[in-house]
Amino acid sequence: MWELIRANRRRTALLVGLLAALLLVVGWSVGEVVAPGAGAGGLVVALLLWAGMTAAAWFAGDRLLLAASRARRICKADHPVLWNVVEEMCIAAGLSRMPEVYIIDEAAPNAFATGRSPERSAVAVTAGLLERLDRDELQGVVAHELGHIKNRDVLYMTMAGVMLGAVVLLADLGRRALWHGPAMRRTSSRRGGGSEAALWLLGLALAVLAPILARLMYLALSRRREYLADACAALYTRYPEGLASALETIAGHREPLWAANRATAPLYIVNPLGADAAGRSAWTRTHPPTAERARILRSLAGGTLSLERYDDAFRRVTQRPVGIVPRGARRAPELEPVAARTAHPDVRSHPTRVRELTDALWRAQGYDFLPCACGATLKVPPARAGEALACPRCATTLRAPAASSPA
Amino acid sequence: MGILLVLVAAAAVAALWLVGIFNGLVGLRNAVRNAWSQIDVQLKRRHDLIPNLVETVGGYAKHERETLDAVVRARQQAIQVSDSVVDKAQAENLLSQTLRSLFAVAEAYPDLKANQNFLGLQEELTSTENKISFARQYYNDSAMTYNNKTEMFPSNLVAGLFRFERAEFFEVEEPAERKVPQVRFS
């Protein structure tokens, strides 16, 4: 496992380095375009922009993301099953600290992980996911997310995303400068500056191509991460079928996820914008095709599990010559899988899952549950905590407990 | 002078290399110990949940004294067993089995199955069983990595010199349980 993390770091450092180089080139050329000789100034602006965005992402990125997704933090009493599954997977992954658990109140099934390090991380799942998946499938999804956390994917994807944002911003600035700036006026007034015209064209090409190039690099990184997290989920659960069937359930579902947008889409386990459909080329996807991911996982069934076997399955299914697992991480030991779990299926029926879920959503909004002797349960809004309330069924006066601290 | 310098440099490189191997072994041994303590935490949690469960089930299923007693005895045995990995694994496997038969018995009592307290305990015990098996899985993986390191050349020389002992695996005894390590009470 450690080899994988290390190899991951090296590869990502390389890609992030490339993105950084691109950022610097764009910064320098924008400077040159705005005022010849001001390339160094452009460099400084590019670096400042990048540093500012990185600092924002480092210190507040996870909070911003969770707030933008309208995720609510829960505690164990809110949804014991989800909490237990996260705890189980933490143990399986050997994470020293349990991530915070969030629920997003949306019908579309999906999930994401965030946080800059395993010590400060969070897992968020949607209500639709909790409603539709059984325990084994939920375990697969949570294992995939913890795989992201364990492999430090979240940090690298955030850093790469920031870099991409900076390149796009700068290139945008450059295009504006090219159309309205002094270089444009000079070129058009003098009419003969061949070298300046060439430079202008070069700048334009760069301003148009750089964001595209940066985006393609970012997406390549994103897709690779998804495969690796799938492989880790298979190792943690020792049951690839769980995640495979969860992926199919999620992908087979066509409800849009309202809280997601183009910026946050790469973070989810399956693209929430439905870009999984045909028509998107392999280069511009944020996620690998779900059917392919499920097929790779299924072909692992019935043998020992290892990153090497996942890699072989990946090459067999995608027919690509180069695998997904870094060379150094391939020689990890083979692990025994668990046999089919049909002997002990999830005993919770669909209505039970829905009940658990709605209770969790009420509690996450600060409602308290007050059981009455007649068998009814009152949901007490936070504003009425500590008041005397009459049971609507038997009219007994009950005292609501004082406001408990929010989860 | 030149030869001396080369010799000193070679000795320094060799020393650094040895230190690296030694530290790697220590790190792995600590990982194994840490993984073991994780199993221990979950086993204790299970021991703590059982009295409550026995009481709840006993309230509804009064005629199942035999099964309930078996669970209580197995728990007592698991608590008193020595700290050796093999003994512990045996006692805990026995406890898992008696628990499974207790939940099978509970099937016959619809009132019990509808009891909120019982459902909560069932979820907790299911999850604790899962946690034990995941902790065992992680422990065995760590133990394997560590054992490989202590036996393979050249780290086995350092391991022998500083008495790094083999870690024992937490084995599941019966072939029946090997098939279904994940326990789902139904």
- The verdict on whether omega for the bond into residue B154 sits within 30 degrees of 0, i.e. cis, is yes
List, for residues A45-60, the tens digit of each pLDDT value. 888 888 888 788 788 8
Euclidean distance between CA atoms B169 and A301, whole angstroms: 25
Of A80, A93, A338, the CB nearest to B182: A338
Q: Which pLDDT value is given to residue A141?
A: 95
Euclidean distance between CA atoms B6 and B9, whole angstroms: 5
Amino acid at A22: L
Euclidean distance between CA atoms A22 and A30, whole angstroms: 12
Q: Where residue A342 falls among pLDDT bands split at 50, 70, 90?
A: very low
Q: What is the pTM of this model?
A: 0.79
Asked if A155 and A225 touch (Cβ cutoff 8 Å), the reply is: no
Euclidean distance between CA atoms A171 and A99, whole angstroms: 37
Position B23 pLDDT exceeds 50: yes
List, for residues A244-265, the tens digit of each pLDDT value. 999 988 888 777 777 776 667 7
Position B142 pLDDT exceeds 50: yes
Of A85, A92, A338, the CB nearest to B138: A92
- How far apart are the CA of B99 and the nearest CA of chain A, in angstroms? 14
Which positions ≥6 away from B37 have C-beta within 8 Å? none
A193 versus A287: which is more confidently predicted?
Answer: A287
Position B176 pLDDT exceeds 50: no
Nearest CA in chain B to A93: B138
The DSSP-derived string for A204-259 is HHHHHHHHHHHHHHHHHHHHHHHHHHHHHHHHHHS-HHHHHHHHHHHHT-----TT
Q: Which pLDDT value is given to residue B11?
A: 92
The predicted model gives A331-357 an average pLDDT of: 62
**Model-level ipTM above the cut of 0.90:** no
CA angle in degrees (0–180, nearest 5) for A335-A336-A341: 135
Q: Which pLDDT value is given to residue A181?
A: 61
List, for residues A370-407, the tens digit of each pLDDT value. 777 777 777 888 887 777 888 877 877 877 777 655 44
Position A38 pLDDT exceeds 50: yes
CA distances from A320 to A311, A323, A324 (A): 11, 7, 10
The predicted model gives A212-216 an average pLDDT of: 84
Residues of A in contact with B181 (CB under 8 A): 338
Q: Name the nearest CA neighbour of A76 among A97, A101, A106.
A: A101
The answer to which of A49-58, A138-147, B43-52 has the lowest mean pLDDT is: A49-58
Inter-chain residue contact B180 with A345, CB threshold 8 Å: no
Inter-chain residue contact A343 with B184, CB threshold 8 Å: yes
The predicted model gives B119-130 an average pLDDT of: 86
Active-site residue flag, A145: yes
Selected residues 39-98 of chain B with any CB under 8 Å from a CB in chain A:
42
Nearest CA in chain A to B148: A333
The predicted model gives A258-282 an average pLDDT of: 67
Inter-chain residue contact A238 with B137, CB threshold 8 Å: yes
Euclidean distance between CA atoms B139 and B142, whole angstroms: 5
List, for residues B53-68, the tens digit of each pLDDT value. 888 888 887 778 888 8
Annotated active-site residue in A32, A145, A226, A308: A145
Q: What value does the mean pLDDT of chain A take?
A: 78
Q: Which pLDDT value is given to residue B10?
A: 92
Inter-chain residue contact B123 with A88, CB threshold 8 Å: no
Q: Which pLDDT value is given to residue A10?
A: 77
User: Chain A within 8 Å of B24 (Cβ-Cβ)?
Assistant: no
Q: Which pLDDT value is given to residue A344?
A: 43
Selected residues 108-127 of chain B with any CB under 8 Å from a CB in chain A:
120, 123-124, 127
